[in-house]
Chain A
Amino acid sequence: MFMKMRMLVLGLCVGCSSLWAAGVSYPNKPIRLIVAFPPGGSTDIIARLVAQRLGEQLGQQVIVDNRGGAGGTLGTEIAARAAPDGHTLTMGTTSTHVIAPAAYTTVKYDPLKDFEPITLVASTPYLLVVHPGVKASSVKEFVAVAKSQPGKLNYASAGTGSTTHLAMEMLNAAAGMNVVHVPYGGNGPAGTAVLGGQVQALFGSMPAVLPHAQAARVRPLAVGTDKRSPALPNVPTVAESGYPGFEVSLWLGFFAPKGTAKPILARLEKELTAIANSPEMGALFEKNGASPLTTTPNELTQLMGRELQKYGKVIKAAGIQLK
């Protein structure tokens, strides 16, 4: 029975791809873009900006479908199981395609095997900030303060196993200090905690902490990216502050379910690369604390492979294990 069904499904798929070959146009219905986070967050905003332009280019509406939950793994799993016909895509990020699979034992998808990477569109830096009460204006001074009173300082994160958590654990390991992790339920509450001085530091996502840094409510010490951010040209990178090789950023890209036809993927790559590199989109990204970043599918696969290793090590060293 199941065998028969499988044959039927297989037959249908073959039928579809031959239809494709016969020149049935893609897309022939609205495209669903799964965003594995609730509306309003930075991933959602970038997705919506790109979705609108992509829809114009393809002549079909691109509908953002927010499937938040379980740290982005819920929606990503749905995308992995969707029909590979190019009408379901997902916005994958460092969180959904690297950190969650590395940290959670229960993730039901394989970031490398279940998806066709298309291209990245943007990346957002992480910014290390401290409460103004902390007597440090550089990473070096911060490390000195932390070491002079071991186990006294705390840092906030957007949640256990989030990028904001891992970034600080990487710095803890690199500097040999012990700033204690205090998890909060998201970037917003974590930011509030540093503003109020409840905790002393946060390695927060740029869109969430930049306004507070600009208003001098928190003091920016360094960005986690390999280059300085145009939004804060005077703030050094962690790497140039004495920890060469340190790099933490959040990338956002488009993925299709495994088995999506090559011509469809090529078309999407072409359109998305053009959109992400257009000056208008660049300006919109910048307003949201992101900058354009595009890759070929191959480069994206390699990047994921490297990062899965890198963060896997951090997770193991910090003893983070999530179920």
Chain B
Amino acid sequence: MDFTLILQNLGLGFSTALSLVNLAYCFLGVLVGTLIGVLPGIGPVAAVAMLLPLTFNLDPVGAIIMLSGIYYGTQYGGSTTAILVNLPGESSSVITCIDGYAMARAGRAGPALAIAAIGSFFAGTVGTILVALLGPPLAEIALKFGAPEYFSLMVMALIAASVLSSGSMMKTICMIVLGLLVGIVGTDVNSGMSRFTFGMSGLADGIHFAVIAMGLFGFAEIASNLSDKADTAERTVLNQKITGLMPTYEDMKAASGAIFRGTAIGAFFGTLPGGGPTISAFSAYALEKKLAKDPSRFGKGAIEGVAAPESANNAAVQCAFITTLTLGIPHGATMALILGALTIQGIAPGPQVMTQRPDLFWGLIASMWIGNAMLVVLNLPLVGLWVKLLKVPYRFMFPSIMVFMAIGVYSVNNLDLDVYFTILFGVLGYLFLKLNCQPAPLILAFVLGPLMEENLRRALLISRGDPTVFFTRPISAGFLIAAILLLIIMIIPSFKKKREEAVASSEVL
């Protein structure tokens, strides 16, 4: 690799991105993104779609810099609501809710928000460097991922997910199965047949993630807050005094390892088309919990439980640009929209962008890093403001959250059916809370299940029904071996515990 060439390219990139106009677009993008991301339910897709027409008259470089800013801005804003009010703005911030919200309730919203910002910035920086140095070769590796590889990867991720829950193993498995079933709703990609739609055309494309997340997390949380016996007039989200806005030295020490590991996981999954921020965040959290000396802290406000998934999803978001830019393969709905914006500008996305429009390619890469820096500068001072928001009496807070959730859910498909389903899932979520069943494994299974099925059937279709394909392809075999190891690691301690219990009870006898 020619290092001087990369430096030269980065020089071009920074000179493009640092022009006053482009800096302004970048700032506007991350600002608008953060603000929209903070609104529950309105994710990057809706934000980019709404602001797309604004970019028609901009020059292409400014347009894509602004849209990308909106993209990582919303991702960031989504984490803010996850921490403050237990509302994941994006599927990738579901996991942040667990320990982030626990920290907020314990009066440590400030450190949680700050560590999310710091972790995201670190991950963003690493992601940007990766895109610049290794973009094209990484994209080639990503193309090696076919249906068998994706299937085995999902199997591994789903098994890892069962460590997510701090409750009983049985309940976790039930939630995973329920998530898989809900994920099946909609049109089957392989046969084109509708499943579990009961003739409702609004269900033809399945239930949207936002519907489930807003229902199970948002509405359920509000219901359970209101059912607490505390004085309704003066209720706030907090049940303890706010202690400090910034992380302490101990916090930083505890979080730094998690940030490194989260970044590595995010960079890996982010590069795969179809991998993405959600799997990264879940996997990073699962890994931290496995590595922790005292896993029981997780779910009760462990700072690693915020640092790891936040770093992971941000690294993944940055690395998602690798396949989008070098191959012209959109990474998901938001990336497809950003590519669409380029097409409207008359630039055909694809590998030739790098050579034909180096200013655009390298300018965007440089602006990614600048955008991430801006997010930190923008958000660290805002931490104080967000935390103050928690002191707003709950009787004002919950109606506004509910209104924004309803708007957000509606805005995804402009479908009123989605709002009713959100309420339905809200009721379910309240039941789950009362039954001590955790919604996170359900959501992961809901996201991964349909992909897993699709890739399993596709792999078998291509191999003409031969199941050995999962073991004969090396990458796929690797994932399956890792999955088996994970399973063994998980089963051994519970065996040990059972034996200890048996020994203990025999001693009593």
Contact = CB atoms under 8 A, between A and B. Distances in A.
Contacts of B458: 182, 184
**Of A69, A74, A185, A193, which is in contact with the most chain B CB atoms at under 10 Å from its CB?**
A69
Interface residues of A, number: 55
A12 interface: no
Contacts, number: 129
Interface in B284-343: 327-330, 333, 336-337, 339-341, 343
Interface stretch (A138-146, A211-219, A236-244): A211-219
A262 B201 CA distance: 31
Interface string A184-207: 110011011101111100000001
Given A160-B190, A323-B194, A69 B205 contact: yes
Interface in A147-201: 151, 154, 159-161, 180, 182-185, 188-189, 191-193, 195-199
Contacts of B350: 211-212, 214-215
B189 A184 contact: yes
Contacts of B192: 103, 159-161, 183, 320, 322
A195 B333 contact: no
A106 B194 contact: yes
B343 A217 contact: no
B348 A214 contact: yes
Contacts of A320: 192
A67 interface: yes
B49 A284 contact: no
A217 B136 CA distance: 13
Interface residues of B, number: 49
A60 interface: no
Interface string A9-43: 00000000000000000000000000000111100
A287 B461 CA distance: 36
B348 A68 contact: no
Interface stretch (A44-52, A119-127, A293-301): A44-52
B340 A322 contact: no
B493 interface: no
Given A45-B343, A211-B328, A212-B328, A40 B336 contact: yes
Contacts of B189: 159-160, 183-185
B273 A74 contact: no
A70 interface: yes
Interface of A is mostly: mixed
B237 to A, nearest CB: 35
Interface stretch (B139-147, B364-372, B387-395): B139-147
B348 A211 contact: yes
Interface in B409-443: 413-415
B340 A183 contact: no
Interface in A277-311: 284, 287-288
Interface in B169-206: 187, 189-194, 199, 201-202, 204-205
Interface string B457-501: 010011010000000000000000000000000000000000000
A195 B329 contact: yes
B407 interface: no
A297 to B, nearest CB: 28
A129 interface: no
B358 interface: no
19 contacts: A40-B52, A40-B341, A44-B340, A66-B414, A69-B413, A70-B201, A71-B187, A106-B194, A182-B462, A183-B190, A188-B329, A191-B329, A192-B327, A196-B144, A198-B462, A211-B348, A214-B350, A214-B352, A287-B346
Q: What 10 pairs across the A-B complex have the smallest Cβ distances?
A: A211-B350, A160-B192, A70-B204, A40-B340, A196-B143, A40-B337, A198-B146, A287-B346, A39-B49, A322-B192
